[in-house]
Each structure stands twice: as structure tokens, then as C-alpha cells.
Structure 1
Amino acid sequence: MRLVFLMIVLTAVLTCAAFALAAEPIRIGAVVSATGPASFLGEPERNTLQMQADALNAAGGLLGRPVEVVILDDETDVNKAVLAVDRLLKKDNVAAVVGPTVSGNSLAVAPKFAAAKVPLVSCAAAEKIVRPVSPWVFKTAQSDRLAVARILSHARKAGYKKLAILTVSDGYGQAGREVLKEAVPAGGFELVADEVYGPKDTDMTAQLTKIKGTAPDAVICWGTNPGPAVVAKNRVQLGMATSLYMSHGVASKKFIELAGESAEGLLLPAGKLTVADQLPASDPQKALLLDYAKAYEERFKVPASAFGGYAYDGLALVAKAIADGNDASPAAIRDNLEKIKDFPGISGVFRFSPEDHNGLDETAFVMVTITGGDFRLLAD
């Protein structure tokens, strides 16, 4: 009798599984820079999305339906990002899109989502992606303003008065520069130098020499690899002892590899994943961060990065919106994304609202320094 009962249960389970597999999949799009200059950001995003899709389907999918994540590579090219989004919206008929990876590409494609009435959850940092708020556009990466606030808080405690900035001329750098030019003087600091470099520049000695002549207390460099590593090396070559802050755009081991010994002693705001094992046990993100880091490294044989975390959060938030609303339509996903509160992710604890489509605050960042070739958490 027991055997018959077990066979009935097994048959029911297999029938449900077969039904779920036969059901129309929930199709979610993703555009990432898996190749090109920003591949160090986009590759971990692609890997993470693949890992998450497998985990979701192994757990039964969503609403009894399998999840299909259609991942396209924009090669860090804005025109290819536009083409990828067009395909996802018009051909693949996705319910939502995660990405793009970089700010310029995200800003370029954002208007398409309002027109299509499909939600976008960007993985890029620029504040302009969600300010002013577009009803259909969200993002998971911490905003530049939050990172700048962390840097200036540290600089204030260190007693610094005169600050210089050195920013890259791409979308990420331009967005950061705007915030820095506003926040530095507003925070009571003197902005003594404002220098810019190109994303393909291989020597920033000229800019650093000008900065050195203004005698700042500290320099803030805003960019993503490889430029900031060049800045770090040129600083050492020029014998500059001035404190150097980097942006959260270099919060990965790749930056330390590129900068080598020149990275020693640098300061930056970083997502908590960077120093997850150093967090107190009371931190609401710690368990998730450690689980994600372990799963990623076991599958891909390389350490997880905060950049992959942006994609993790994007898909996790879309999945939660679908589950909470019991509805996978684009309009329902949008409405339920906006209602998400106190949701621990990789990038922070998300609290969305109609007025805030990033949903993070300054606590999403911690200040770290680079010591002995690794990141070390600094006390608040």
C-alpha cells in the first residue's frame, strides 16, 4: 500500500513537472556587455543571469511556468545595445529587460521602454537613468550620488579641505563628474582642479601634473577599468603622496591586477560583496552575499564581483515582482516592482517607490582600502 501511495505521489510530481515544462515560458530579456571594453562588468552579469535562470527553473520556475532568460551581448557598443533592445521588445516579446551594463547604453535605450510599456531594470550606475523618474525604468546599481556621499564623508573625517577630480569622458564619468561638481562645494570643500581623460587614454601624466600643481588634500578619480589603473600608476611615477579616492566602478580584483602595487593604499566606496566575509553577522545582506559568492565561484571558478550582483538583483527583483503579483505581464511587473520594500539584494536593501526607482541609500556602500593586494573594510 505504501509503495502504491509513493507511486501515486511520484506520478503527480512528474505530471506537475511535465506541465510546468510544457507551459509557455516567462521570457525575460537581458542586454550585457559580455565583450568589449566593459566585459569585466558584463561577463559576470551574463554568468550570473545564466546561473539564476537555472536555479529558478530547478525550483519550478515562476507561476508554474519555466523562465527563459534571453541574454544578448551589446559588445559595449551603444548602437548594438539599441539593436539588442529592439530585438528583445519586437521579436522576443519579453516581459521585462535586465541591463544594459553601462550607463551610456542604458541612457540610450531607456526611452524605448516607456514607448513599449515594458519595464527595464538597468545594471548601470548613472543617476540620470532614474532621475527624473520614468515609470518604466528602474536600476540596481548604486547611484553615483551615494558613492560620492561616502567619499566626501570619509574626506571630511580625514580633515581634507581641498579636493581635485579626474573623470573619464564616457557616460559613467560624465554622470559622476556632474555629481562631484555639485556635491564637493556643497559639502564645504574647495574644488581646486577638474580634469578629464578619454576612455582610451593610456597616460594621464599631464592631468595629474596639473592637479599636483593645485596642492589638493585628496584626488577623486571617477572611471572604470582600465583608465583608473593608469591613473594609479602615473600617480606613483610622479611621486604624488596625495590621497587618491577611486569610484565604485573599480571595485573588483581586476582593478588590483591592473594597477599592481600602485593600488596599495587607495580608497573607494564599494558594494558589500567586496568585503562580505568582513561584515558583522547582523548585516541583513551578509548571508545572501556569502551564498552568492560561493555559488558563483563553484560554477565559474573565479571570484564573484559586485558587477555580477547588479544583474542578480535585476532578475531577482523582476522574479519577486512576478511572484508578488501572481502576474507576468509587463504592466503588472512594473506596478509590483514599485511596491517592493526591504528586499535584501547583492547591491543593498531595496525600497522602491513611485518617487525612487533605485531604492537604495548610502548604506549600500562601505568604504574600503586596498592593502596587500586585497580590499579591507574601513570602520565608519
Structure 2
Amino acid sequence: MKLKEVFKTTTLAAATAAMTTLATPAFAEILIGSTLAITGRASFLGDPEAKTLAMLVDEVNAAGGVNGEPIKLIQYDDGGDPNKARTFATRLVEDDEVVAVIGGTTSGATMAMIPIFEENEIPFISLAGAVAIIDPVKKWVFKTPHTDRMACEKIFTDMQANGISKIGMISGTGGFGKSMRGQCLDVAGNYQIEVVADETYGPSDSDMTPQLTNIKNAEGIQAVVNPGFGQGPAIVTRNYRQLGIDLPLYQSHGVASKSFIELAGDAAEGVRLPAAALLVASDLADDDPQKPVVTGYIKAYEAATGEPVSTFGGHAYDAFKMLVAAMETAGSSDPEAVRDALENTRGFVGTGGVVNMSAEDHLGLDLSAFKMLEIRDGNWTIVE
């Protein structure tokens, strides 16, 4: 064969191959986005969330994907910084072209991202606690954790049952602590609770003794509530015991992980807080619909990571499972179809409770989803 003929044949083959490549559709993937506080002050929240999502994506893909298509998770680490979170939210929408997003470890990061997802009509399931995330309802925004308002109501219900009517508060000034403080002040009167001392601390404060001394000296005080998350509540708890304050201390669900007990040490003994059933899985009744869900998640997570579960990883578990269920119900990964299916979630049993959403409620949980826990002998127990 002459050189000219060889060139002609090769060129024709290359052109045919190129045309074949263009004619063959690209391998379909469902692109899901996530931006979490994997590092930084809120990493004890974001790290188990990230590991949970990675584990669940592997499980779903190993089982054949969703509607026959594999999921690809595009994940960023915002360190709990609202500005970084907003930047990553924009990138997920404009560059990565995701069909839905799970994330927002902290309330501040979540609130910074909401306008991006609302404007671009992308379903967003937040893993943060502030009630402002879903109240008022935003069309494209959902959340899985119990709200800070619910935490106040659960705490005050327990106080009321124990004859407590005058309390002190010491709150973190970060997004969650600030929000929960406001919610507690707003609903206290509904439970005949009077706040007679109201102190705050910053995210980098390492000693809350002055604020707690003011609370200790408040007239008639019967208990103390500490809205906050991260290291702050552990410092408050240690300082509380060092000052010999012999009053019930209530924390929020923002400390519902083993790391809080480890940081607070023996000072955590007797602390009460509202939390999800996940922390007391073995204590649930056998006919409790949550028991197989939480025990299954615990077994899978510990096998995958070698680490104990926390309620924060559970928030990610619920978000991912609901998102997958919504895509299966919709028979599509189209954002609008997924949003509509999420809003119509009914009877979903997750680690946080039984979820029943509606157009007026993008959380779908009530107070029965919360357990009142007390730390005894370095572990969680249900308050009867």
C-alpha cells in the first residue's frame, strides 16, 4: 500500500472513530454537591457528616445507583466559614452543575448559602440547627436536625416537670448559640420560665468563670441552660463544676457527641440535653420504628470508619436517604421533580425521628423526635 493510501485509510479511521465517540452518549452520573466543616472549630460536626455521605454513596453505587444511574459526590470543606461556604455553593451550581446539595454544617454557613440555591432552584438539605433555616419556609430549602426552638421547648418541658421556674442562660455568640438564645427567650414564658441571668461568651473564649459567677449569684436561680456547640460548652461545664454550682445544667443538642463528654470529663456527669434516639439505640424498645434504622447506621458507620457515631453524622444519613428516596419517587434527578418529592416526604424513619414534611413544614419533625438524655458514668441515658 502506498504512503498516500495509508494516510487516507488512517484519516478515515480516525474520523470514523471521532464520529462514533460523538454519537455515543456520555456515561450518565447524578451529581450531588456537599460543602461541610470537615476541618476547623466545627470539624467534630462536619467530619462524621462527610464520612457518612461518602459511605452512603459507595453503598448506593454498589447496589446499582439510583434509577440505574450512579451518584457522584462533589464535596468541599468550608471549615464552617460562611464566606467560603457561599463561594463553594456558587461553584457547585455554576461549575459543577449539581442537581442537589447536602451540607451546611453550621447555621451561619447554611444561611450564607441559601440565597444561591433559592435563586438557582437547586434542592438544598441543611444539616444545621437554627430554626431560621426553614422558618419561614423557603421553596428549595429543607433540613434534617431538630431546631434550636425545639431544643428550648424540650428543655423547658423537662424543667417544668421538675418545678423549675427561674433559670440562668450562658450562650455562645456564634450562629447557633445566638439563634438558640433568642428562641429560648422567646418561648420561656410559655412554660412559666423566667430568665433571671443572661450571659454570653465568644467562640475563642477559654474561661467562662466571670459569666458563671454572675449566674451563680443571681437571686432565686434554679437551673442553667447553655446554648452552643464546639469547645465552648465543654469549658462552661468544667468551669461550672469548678465553681461548685450545685444546680441542674442543661446543654443543647449541639453537644450530642461523645467528643463533648471527652472534653468535659467528669464535669459532664449529670448534664441533661435533648438529642436524637441514635445516641441511645440499645435502650430503645424493640418495637420502636427507629431501632433498626439507628442500629443499622451504627453498625455500618463503625465498620467503615472505626469510629463511634454522632447525631451529626446521623443528620447526613437522613438527608442522603431522603434525597435518594425523593429521586426514586420522582423517577428522575431533575431538581424540580426532586424538590417536589422531598416536600411530600411522609413516614420516613430516620435517625432523627419520623419525618412528615409538607409545603408548610420543610423539617417534618415534632418534639416526640427528641429524647431527653442525661450523662451518667460517662455515657448517655434516657431520662424517664
Task: With the length of structure 2 as denominator, give the TM-score of the two structures.
Answer: 0.92
Question: Separation in 2 of the partners of 1:246 and 1:114?
Answer: 33
Shift of 1:193: 1.0
Aligned to 1:218: 223
Aligned to 2:84: 80
Q: Which amino acid aligns with 2:129?
A: A
Aligned to 2:276: 271
Q: How does 1:86-105 map to 2 (within 5 A)?
A: 86-105=90-109
Aligned to 1:4: none
Aligned to 1:257: 262
Question: Separation in 1 of the partners of 2:70 and 2:306?
Answer: 27
Q: Which amino acid aligns with 1:301?
A: G
Q: Is 1:139 aligned to 2:143, yes or no?
A: yes
Structure 1 residue ranges without an equivalent (≥5)? 1-20
Provide, for residues 165-208 of structure 1, a one-character-per-residue CA deviation record: whole Å limited to 9, x for no partner. 11100100111011100111221111111111101110101110
Q: How does 1:112-131 map to 2 (within 5 A)?
A: 112-131=116-135
Q: Which amino acid aligns with 1:309?
A: G
Alignment size in residue pairs = 359
Question: Separation in 2 of the partners of 1:275 and 1:122?
Answer: 24
Provide, for residues 245-293 of structure 1, a one-character-per-residue CA deviation record: whole Å limited to 9, x for no partner. 0000001110000000100111111111011111111211110100100
Aligned to 1:3: none
Shift of 1:23: 3.5
Alignment partner for residue 172 of structure 1, among 173, 176, 191? Answer: 176
Question: Separation in 2 of the partners of 1:361 and 1:174?
Answer: 22
Question: Separation in 1 of the partners of 2:51 and 2:35?
Answer: 12
Aligned to 1:344: 349
Q: How does 1:310-329 map to 2 (within 5 A)?
A: 310-329=315-334
Question: Separation in 2 of the partners of 1:24 and 1:170?
Answer: 41
Aligned to 1:107: 111
Q: How does 1:24-35 map to 2 (within 5 A)?
A: 24-35=28-39
Question: Separation in 2 of the partners of 1:371 and 1:22?
Answer: 56
Secondary structure of the structure 1 residue equivalent to 2:110: helix
Alignment partner for residue 305 of structure 1, among 310, 313, 331? Answer: 310
Shift of 1:150: 1.2
Q: Is 1:295 aligned to 2:306, yes or no?
A: no
Alignment partner for residue 200 of structure 2, among 184, 196, 200? Answer: 196
Question: Separation in 2 of the partners of 1:278 and 1:205?
Answer: 36
Q: Which amino acid aligns with 2:261?
A: I
Q: Which amino acid aligns with 1:86?
A: T
Question: Separation in 2 of the partners of 1:280 and 1:192?
Answer: 39
Provide, for residues 76-119 of structure 1, a one-character-per-residue CA deviation record: whole Å limited to 9, x for no partner. 21111111111110111000000110000001110111100101
Alignment partner for residue 189 of structure 2, among 166, 175, 185? Answer: 185
Secondary structure of the structure 1 residue equivalent to 2:323: helix
Q: Which amino acid aligns with 2:115?
A: P
Q: Which amino acid aligns with 1:137?
A: V
Q: Which amino acid aligns with 1:292?
A: Y
Aligned to 2:290: 285
Secondary structure of the structure 1 residue equivalent to 2:83: helix
Question: Separation in 2 of the partners of 1:339 and 1:265?
Answer: 40
Shift of 1:22: 6.9
The CA RMSD measured in Å over matched residues stands at 1.1
Secondary structure of the structure 1 residue equivalent to 2:60: helix
Provide, for residues 109-139 of structure 1, a one-character-per-residue CA deviation record: whole Å limited to 9, x for no partner. 1011110010110000000000110100000
Q: Is 1:358 aligned to 2:363, yes or no?
A: yes
Aligned to 2:8: none
Question: Separation in 2 of the partners of 1:37 and 1:70?
Answer: 22
Larger Rg: 2
Structure 2 residue ranges without an equivalent (≥5)? 1-24
Aligned to 2:13: none
Q: Is 1:67 aligned to 2:67, yes or no?
A: no
Provide, for residues 298-346 of structure 1, a one-character-per-residue CA deviation record: whole Å limited to 9, x for no partner. 1111111110011111111111110001011111111110011010011
Secondary structure of the structure 1 residue equivalent to 2:74: strand
Q: Which amino acid aligns with 2:343?
A: E
Task: With the length of structure 1 as denominator, give the TM-score of the two structures.
Answer: 0.93
* Residue pair 1:185, 1:191 contacting (<8 A) in 2 also: no
Question: Separation in 2 of the partners of 1:364 and 1:111?
Answer: 29
Q: Is 1:55 aligned to 2:65, yes or no?
A: no
